[in-house]
Every structure is written in C-alpha cells, then in structure tokens.
Amino acid sequence: MTLQPFSLSVAGTPVAGLRSAETGGTRVLALHGWLDNAASFVPLAAQLPELELVAIDLPGHGHSAHLPPGTQYNTPGAICHVLDVADALGWDRFVLLGHSMGAGIASLTAAAAPERVERLIAIEALGGLRGPENETAQRLREHVRAARALPTRKLRVFPDLIAPIRARMMANQLSEPCARLLVERGVTPVDGGYSWCSDQRLMLPTAMRLSEAQIDDLLAAIDCPTQVIYATPAQSYYPEPLRSERIGLLRDGRLAVFPGTHHLHMEHPQVVGDVIRRFLAE
C-alpha cells in the first residue's frame, strides 16, 4: 500500500496526514509518537494493503497546524482531537493504532469513548507515562519556568538534512532510511537551510502526569479487544515489570514481544504487520 498526502479541516484548523488510496477495508486511524509524524507508518502500511489506513500528523507535528498561542498540549485535548478527526472522516467506529505517545493517546481514547473504538493496537506504550505524586509540585514548577522562557529560544537551523537525520538515528536507534522518512516530513525550509517544523511547546516538560492508580483505572475501562506490541529490551522510562503488568488490567488484551528498538514498527514492519493482521482477523 502506498500512502497519499491528504488534509482536512478540524474545527477550522488544518490537519495533514497520509492515507491509503483504497477505501472499503477495515478503518484504521494511526497516531504517531512524540516529535514523529505520519511518515512513521509508511513502512508498516506497505505490509497491510487490505486496510483503509489514515495516519495523521498530530497537532504541532509534521504538516499539521500548531495549536493557537495560549493553548496547551494535553491529553484531554488530544483525545478530543482524535475524535474530531474521526468525525471529519465520517467514521463512527474504527480501529485505533498508536506508537509510543500515540499509543498512550489511543489507549486513553479507547477508555474515554468506548462506543467509537472497535479495536486498539498499542505499540511501545499503554496508558501513558506515570508521574509519582511526590514529584507533582516540582514537575509543575519546571513546566511553568520553561514555558515562560520559551519566547527567548531560537530555532536551530541545519544547512542540510544530514545533521537532523544523524540526530534522529542517534536519539532513537533508527536506521538511516527510517530516520530520513521522519526528518523529511519533520523539517521546514528556512533561511540558511532547515529547521524542525514541530511546535517548540512540545518540548516543554509535562505539567501534570497521571498517577499509576489513575492509569490502572483507565486501562480497566477499555472495553475493546486490544493488541499490545513491545520491543525488547524495554525502554528505561517504561520498564519491566511495569509495562507487562499493565496488560493484565485489560479486559480483552494480548501481548506480542519482539527483539528490537523503540521504532520496531518502522524497522521490522513485516513482523509487526503479521501480528496486526492476525489480530484484526480474529
């Protein structure tokens, strides 16, 4: 399957993405990870030609618009945005596919709007990152301090794409072709070269995080069949046994684990595609 660029308007705001040319298959809305974009799903889409796959650039990422000044990037807003996109597509019920941050948003959307989500596929995250209660005040202070200093920060300019591609390869253990996919959709031409086109506010420390008990309650509220896919070894910020224990909270969950890195859906699309195909055929 080859994904084609598309755009639509959601509440008067431009949303961009990539979608399959064919319609009529299982409707799947794909949500990428933090500072990634819709190109994250290009390798996987080639393995799943039978799907009607729509991969969006989440707000502030890729070619989608940034949120207006004074507006916060937060989880409730992201959930409502996903449902607004589905409305704009004319989709009443659909499958949610998410990677990393996108998997966190997808799983919480399934908990918040069970009547809309038929099935959930979560890659390398489930329920979002936790925040210990005793770090709440310090986290909020760091967010406020960084947010107020943001207007003085200058965008970094790269003379060509070599440096940002290398940066993504090093930061995420990505191969050059996968890093290039993300970078080419994640930069914008400026005087002197290129800059990241993602909203700088996405780099701010998260103001508030859910506690583990709150995440547990949300995961237990997911009604739909859920396929979780993890790479091994686990990421340091989402370690074992925590990440596997969360599977047990799902009413109808299953787990697949493969050797790989955080972007295993890009680096090993055939393996991940096989799991998704079997899950959707159940």
What is the chain's Cα-based Rg? Answer: 18
In this structure, what token pair is assigned to residue 136? 């709440």
Q: 3-state class of 124 per DSSP?
A: coil
In this structure, what token pair is assigned to residue 49? 């030609």
Mean pLDDT, residues 30-53: 97
pLDDT (tens digit per residue) in 127-144: 989 988 999 999 999 999
pTM of the model: 0.97
Domains for the chain: give ranges and CATH numbers.
3-155+209-281 (3.40.50.1820)
Half-sphere exposure of 116 (CA within 13 A, CB side): 22
CB neighbour list of residue 33: distance below 8 Å, 6 or more residues apart: 40, 99, 100, 101, 102, 103, 124, 262, 263
Instruction: Say which residue the tokens 């070894």 belong to.
Output: 233
Structure confidence at residue 75 (pLDDT)? 95
For the annotated catalytic residues, the residue numbers are 100
Mean pLDDT, residues 37-66: 97
